[in-house]
Amino acid sequence: MLEEVIVSSRPDRVIRKKLKNPGDYTIVPYEDSRCKIKITNLACTNHLGKCEIEPESKVFSTNFDGNVLIGDSDFFIDKDFELILQQMCSGETCEVNMVYRDGSGELVKEISCDVELKEVTEEQLISDWSWERLMEASIHHKEKGVELVKEKRILDAFRRFSKALKMVVAIEPIDPEIIDEEKAVAITDLKVKLYNNLAHCQLQYNEYEAALDLCNRAIKYDPENVKALYRRSLAYTGLEMYVEAWADIQRVLQITPAEKAAVQQSRHLKPIIDRINEDYSSVVKKMFS
């Protein structure tokens, strides 16, 4: 009688849940809620039969302590699992099914289990958070992202930076009655750092247009920002806009002449820019000869 519901569906993965035992409909987890859960009857299969769940997953690891903080997972399977918790009530037990496919539609992994949401702390909705709390949350997610970059988990880092940016943007529009100039500067600084970090992640995947967009936003706030100018130079290079790339990297070298990566980028661009200039002067010559 109880039907299966789709929690989230994309071509590459579908998450379903089926109610087994209803809970208290007045208590549900929101962002930042602490949940105590119990997972039973866990199974993971693919077309060959039983298989391992990824070792990075915390929720499905053997030493999982049963605590989940909503909005604070890193690994994609754990984040997907959070989506299920966010559609459960306190005390509820449900049957969960998560199916992952690869780019060609082949089944990679099917995870199923029963989940009991034993306890939920009731949290303020993000709409009621003070700007200080939003700022604090943003910094938290940014720091987690920086750690992930060090571990070379670029995608997971990207999602942290993305969340951090959401949190700091959520402070908008800045009310000068509540947030004085000094604090407003701190907010802008944080935003610029996040644009830069997001741009770094986008560049790792050769997403030059996205990186350009992010660097532009950073430079709009801070025209002398060396990281933003350097990354924009890389983005322009990727987009074959060499004149712009050259201008940015020369600006970087004016500000920090010894910066190794910038010197290297400049060296890389030099022959290209020389050729462009040559072509240009020959065109001019032809025009005026």
Partner 1 sequence: MSDEDDSDVEAKYFKEISDEIQTLKKNPETSGMFVSGWDDADQDVDLVKDPKANPIDHVLWAAEHNKLDTLRELLVAKPGLVHSRDSDGYTPLHRAAYSNHLDAISLLLSFGAKVSSKSELGWTPLHSACNWNNYHIVARLLAAGADPAAPSEGVQTPLHLASHLSHCKSTLLLLLLREDLVEVARKPNNSGETPEQLARGHGIYAPLFEMVSPASSYVSSLAFTCNRYLQTNK
Query: Residue numbers of the site for partner 1 (CB under 8 A)?
Result: 5, 7-8, 10-13, 22, 25-26, 28-31, 54, 76, 79-80, 86-87, 100-104, 108-109, 125-128, 155, 158-159, 161-162, 165-166, 169-170, 172-173, 194-195, 198, 201-202, 205-207, 209-211, 213-214
Nearer to partner 1, 137 or 269 (CB): 137
Alpha-carbon distance 199 to 169, whole Å?
17
Q: Supply the minimum distance, in Å, between the C-beta of residue 126 and partner 1.
A: 5
Q: At closest approach, how far in Å is the CB of 242 from partner 1?
A: 22
Residue 141 or residue 251: which is nearer to partner 1 going by CB?
A: 141
Q: What is the smallest separation between the CB atom of 128 and partner 1, expressed in angstroms?
A: 8
User: 206 vs 254, which CB is nearer to partner 1?
Assistant: 206
Concatenating the DSSP letter of every residue in 177-198 gives TTS-HHHHHHHHHHHHHHHHHH
150: tokens are 């060090």
Q: With 0-12 CB in 10 A as exposed, 13-18 as middle and 19+ as buried, what is 257?
A: exposed
Say if strands 49-50 and 4-10 run parallel, antiparallel, or are unpaired: unpaired
Distance separating alpha carbons of residues 223 and 217, to the nearest angstrom: 10
Cα–Cα dist 85/94, whole Å: 10
Least separation in angstroms between CB 167 and partner 1: 8
Q: Least distance in Å: CB of 123 to partner 1?
A: 10
Tell me whether residue 210 or residue 273 sits nearer to partner 1 (CB atom): 210
Residues 6+ apart with CB under 8 A from 77: 53, 54, 57, 59, 60, 98, 111
Distance CA(37)–CA(261), nearest Å, equals 47
DSSP at 126:
G
CB of 157 to partner 1, least distance (A): 11
Closer of 116 and 269 to partner 1 (Cβ): 116
The residue (of 118 and 250) whose beta carbon lies closer to partner 1 is 118
Q: How far apart are CA 152 and CA 167, in angstroms?
A: 24
Cβ proximity to partner 1, 57 vs 266, nearer residue = 57
Of 74 and 262, which has the nearer Cβ to partner 1? 74
Picking from 17, 54, 43, the residue whose alpha carbon sits closest to that of residue 110 is: 43
Closest approach, Cβ 240 to partner 1, in A, equals 17
Shortest gap between Cβ of 229 and partner 1 (angstroms)? 17
Q: How many whole angstroms separate alpha carbon 63 and alpha carbon 57?
A: 11
